[in-house]
Amino acid sequence: MKNFFLFPKDFRRNLENEIPMLNPDLEGGSFHWESGEIGILFIHGLTTTTAEVRPLAKRFKEKGFTVSGILLPGHGTTPEDLNKTHRKYWIKESEKAYLKLKAKCSTVFIAASSAGCLIALHLASKYHEINGLLLYAPAMKLAISFIKTLLLIIASPFVFSAKKIYENRNGMPWQGYKVNPLKAGIQLLKLQSETQKCLHRIYQPILIIQASLDKTVDLKSGEMISKGVQSPVCESYWMYKSNHVVILDQEFEEVLEISLDFIKTLITK
């Protein structure tokens, strides 16, 4: 997920002949790479693809983990498709991917970025056998004012999309839509509200990594999770040189090290 939202002069409709995605050459489809008995399901953020999580997943695979990544419905095609997609399908397809991975692995963790973290939290509230969550820049709340949120709600039936502001990063390339479809934004807001209500049913260990330069999500999102869940283990870390897509930014190696240490501590207990 990239920066939401610019109002109102920055509303834009996609040009029919324009390539709808940034970096369309990257691999962004679903993947499954087998290695060990411990599995990790990766869930990307809103408007992006699995290209967002692939670099991290590849490193985990090299360390002996079986990794899977799902391309969420409405993603990797056109913003029009995303605007037509209900949030329940994001959850449904992620659930299918989890159960498929669970059938092959004795231990399963879920790693997610941005809006994907909301889906991960939903799954954890339903499947208590999930062994832990790795949440990167969780999008519990957007970094926009109440007025802009209200404008989004009012404009969504009439305005197709809002222009994105792209982050200046020195990390790995990001792939996703060049605009933020507004109806998809409404689905995100509803998903945030539903996720808040299910936090009390979550007991699994949680790792939260946020970026201090994040202009997309409210920086209190991690605190909202840690205060709402019942998890006895909830570790939080800040990356001080990174923007929202913390798993693709210049502190990637540090994020990887923290993530590996978190899982290794849990599986060796």
Evaluate whether residue 116 is within a structural domain.
yes
Query: Most distant CA pair in the chain: distance in Å?
Result: 55
- Is the pLDDT confidence value at 16 over 70? no
On whether the CB atoms of residues 57 and 67 are closer than 8 A, the answer is yes
- Looking at the structure of the chain, the number of domains it has is 1
Alpha carbons 263 and 233: distance in angstroms, whole number: 12
pLDDT digits (tens, 9 = 90+) for 123-135: 999 999 999 999 9
Q: What is the mean pLDDT of residues 226-255?
A: 97
Alpha-carbon torsion, ordered 249, 265, 66, 217, to 10 deg: -30
- Is the pLDDT confidence value at 13 over 50? no
Q: What is the mean pLDDT of residues 25-50?
A: 96
- pLDDT value of residue 144: 87
Cα dihedral across residues 53, 58, 59, 65: positive or negative: positive
- pLDDT value of residue 247: 97
Q: What's the CATH number where 183 sits?
A: 3.40.50.1820
Pick from 194, 190, 185: which is nearest to 122 by CA? 194
Alpha carbons 167 and 155: distance in angstroms, whole number: 25
- pLDDT value of residue 150: 86
Evaluate whether residue 160 is within a structural domain.
yes
Evaluate whether residue 4 is within a structural domain.
no
Evaluate whether residue 18 is within a structural domain.
yes
On whether the CB atoms of residues 162 and 5 are closer than 8 A, the answer is yes
Evaluate whether residue 169 is within a structural domain.
yes
Q: Give the pLDDT band of residue 160 (cuts 50, 70, 90).
A: confident
This prediction's pTM:
0.91
- Is the pLDDT confidence value at 199 over 70? yes
Low-confidence winner among 17-26, 51-60, 61-70 (lowest mean pLDDT): 17-26
Q: Is 180 helix (H, G, I), strand (E, B) or coil?
A: strand
Evaluate whether residue 5 is within a structural domain.
no
Cα dihedral across residues 118, 124, 130, 135: positive or negative: positive
Evaluate whether residue 2 is within a structural domain.
no
Domain that holds residue 195: 11-267
Q: Give percent of the chain above pLDDT 90.
A: 81
Alpha carbons 188 and 78: distance in angstroms, whole number: 17
Evaluate whether residue 159 is within a structural domain.
yes
- Is the pLDDT confidence value at 2 over 80? no
Phi/psi zone of residue 114: left (φ > 0), alpha (ψ -120 to 50 degrees), beta? left
On whether the CB atoms of residues 101 and 108 are closer than 8 A, the answer is yes
Burial-class residue 128 by CB neighbours within 10 Å (0-12, 13-18, 19+): exposed
Q: What is the mean pLDDT of residues 170-186?
A: 91
Alpha carbons 10 and 50: distance in angstroms, whole number: 27
More confident residue, 141 or 164: 141
Give the tokens for residue 242.
Answer: 């990174």
Tell me if the bond preceding 5 is cis, omega within 30° of 0. Answer: yes
- Is the pLDDT confidence value at 99 over 50? yes
